[in-house]
Amino acid sequence: MSDAHSSEDIKKHVRVYMIVFGTLAVLTIVTVAVSYLHLPILPAIVVGLLIASVKAGLVAAHFMHLKSEKKVIFATLIGTGVFFIFMIILFIAAQGDHAGSLLIY
């Protein structure tokens, strides 16, 4: 079995995980602190979603290893976009067929 990861590589990854963990802990504290500000509904939702988005991005990028999977992410994104456009065209075509049949009756 080959030594795929050196001790320095492992320490580097552990350090990154600890920094991300610390950042997530701080952002959780910020979320709780913001809840005590008693902001109006819309600003509270915006601030909460911003904090949650940053936390979700950190988790996805580092703990789910998406930071190093750029090709797969872009391929998935392009595939999703093509599928979305196809579904919109299909929906518009179906509505056109439905609207045409209503005019006949």
Return the DSSP state at 67. G
- 102 Cβ contact list (under 8 Å, min separation 6): none
Whether residue 41 is found in the same domain as residue 4: yes
User: With contact defined as beta carbons under 8 Å apart, do 48 and 34 qualify?
Assistant: yes
Residues 36-50 have a mean pLDDT of 93
Burial class (CB in 10 A: 0-12, 13-18, 19+), 55: middle
* pTM for the full predicted model: 0.61
> How would you class 61 by CB atoms within 10 Å of its CB: exposed for 0-12, middle for 13-18, buried for 19 or more?
middle
pLDDT of residue 98: 66
* Residue 85 or 64, more confident: 85
**40 pLDDT above the threshold of 70:** yes
Same domain, 7 and 56: yes
Based on the fold, state whether residues 63 and 74 are members of the same structural domain. Answer: no
pLDDT confidence of residue 101: 55
Residue 93 domain boundaries: 69-105
Out of 49-58, 71-80, 91-100, pick the least confident.
Answer: 91-100
Provide, rounded to the nearest whole percent, the portion of the chain with pLDDT above 90.
51
